[in-house]
Amino acid sequence: MEFAASSARHVVLASTSPRRRELLASLHISFEVMPSDADETTPDHWAPEQIVTELALRKAKAVHATLGPASRQAVILGSDTIVVLDGQVLGKPQDEAEAASMLRSLQGRSHHVYTAVACIDAITARAEVEYRSTLVTMRALTEDEIVAYAKTGEGLDKAGAYAIQGLGAIFVTGIDGCYFSVVGLPLSLVSEMLGRFGVHVLK
């Protein structure tokens, strides 16, 4: 997938996440979606911020490596999100049982959501990566609520097994930080970073 040659900067979203696509679309900028297929394994001893920044950059680099000459004006945007509870990283659950298990550990407590954003200039290969951390508090849940929510399947493709922008919102009693970072793409950070690469949301 390539862009036509143009003097304008183009954004390539290195993600197939429908949530990130919807959030980026809300900025009313032109962009293309390309899956990164990047390796997302990391060492167990890495800190949360190291994990998300490395994976966001890795995704952007993977797409950058596939771009042809017609995409030389592109700015590649990569992102990654993880949920951390007591120093333990909670990824995407494998099935309903694991989703329910994650919800049991999160309920009645606060956890951190880390989301990183990476930008790469296709012309110069200049890269920047930053992250945001948001504290999310969940109310106590009944076992029936946990099982019923896990059965909806809403959290199966999401870190921490819940969607704050969906039914999972009924469990969240408060956040300290960027809401959009929890959904998957901190829009204020994205806007700032794209601006440094010549893509301005408000012209």
| Cβ atoms 107, 178 nearer than 8 A | no
Which pair of structure tokens corresponds to residue 166? 């969906």
Residues 12 and 10: their CA atoms lie apart, in Å, by 7
Q: How far is residue 188's CA from residue 66's CA, in Å, rounded to a whole number? A: 28
Residue 44 bears catalytic tag:
no
**E strands within 40-108?**
74-85, 88-90
Query: Three-class SS of residue 62?
Result: helix
| β 110-121/31-33 pair status | unpaired
Catalytic member of 37, 44, 80, 144: 80
Give the total residue count for the chain. 203
User: So which residues are the catalytic ones?
Assistant: 80
